[in-house]
Amino acid sequence: MTQTSVPDVVIRRLTTYLQTLKHMAQRGEHVASSTEIGRWAGVSPAQVRKDLSHFGEFGRQGLGYEIGFLCTQIERILKIDQDWRLILVGAGALGHALMNYGAFVTGRFQIVAVFDSDPAKVNTRVGQREILPMERLAEIIAERHVEIAILAVPATAAQHVADQLVACGVRSILSYAPITLNTPRDVHVRYIDPVASLQTMTYYL
């Protein structure tokens, strides 16, 4: 099966499986069954096996999955066993919080440049980075081979900035703006929306 035929929801579930496996490893476990993985991820054991079978044969019938091995394999499949350069657009309060977020300083995802359209912010610093004007977006994206951007701009500016990012070659956008972006089919967008998360919890109250 070619990579492009794997449904997006399977890719999303792989990250959940990875988290589950890492939790189990932290608890000192070495082997995981599809039942255990599925229970945590909220899917059936058959679904876990089917999802993983898109990418190869990782376990043995009746013996389960070796946790360390499966973690390594999933990280390789998701390409998170390598470093990625990101840019951040929007240097407001959220942008500052993101620049100070440990994972973006020392982790595999590194924010290499920050942009803002506000002339008063340009040339000031956020974290260790100087804020660049939007005019330099194309140049930096090309120079640093950036394919991923974080969008931390107001809702009213988000679509316009997304269009610019796409035109410059960005193919993955993580958006904090509470609107749905229109992007070409080959551009992947994920949204971070606290309200959507809160809406999954009130049921229990």
Name the site residues for a copy of itself (rule: CB under 8 A): 3, 7-12, 14-15, 18-19, 23, 41-43, 77-80, 84, 86, 92-94, 96-98, 100-104, 107, 109, 147-148, 150, 155, 171-172, 174, 178, 180, 186, 188, 190, 192, 194-205
**What are the residues whose beta carbons fall under 8 Å from the beta carbon of 39, sequence distance 6 or more?**
none
Whose Cβ is closer to a copy of itself: residue 60's or residue 204's? 204
* Terminal-residue alpha carbon distance, the chain: 44
3-class secondary-structure state, position 36: helix
Give dist(CA 117, CA 131) in Å, integer: 10
Whose Cβ is closer to a copy of itself: residue 59's or residue 90's? 90
Tokens read off for 39: 């229970």
What burial class does residue 52 get, using C-beta atoms within 10 Å of its C-beta: 0-12 exposed, 13-18 middle, 19+ buried? Answer: buried
- DSSP per residue, 132-179: EEGGGHHHHHHHTT--EEEE-S-HHHHHHHHHHHHHTT--EEEE-SSS
Closest approach, Cβ 94 to a copy of itself, in A, equals 4
Closest approach, Cβ 114 to a copy of itself, in A, equals 13
Bridge partner list, 172:
148, 188
Tokens read off for 74: 């999933």
Whose Cβ is closer to a copy of itself: residue 135's or residue 193's? 193
Closest approach, Cβ 60 to a copy of itself, in A, equals 25
Whose Cβ is closer to a copy of itself: residue 61's or residue 197's? 197
Whose Cβ is closer to a copy of itself: residue 18's or residue 32's? 18
Closest approach, Cβ 167 to a copy of itself, in A, equals 17
Closest approach, Cβ 165 to a copy of itself, in A, equals 13
Closest approach, Cβ 154 to a copy of itself, in A, equals 9
Whose Cβ is closer to a copy of itself: residue 97's or residue 167's? 97
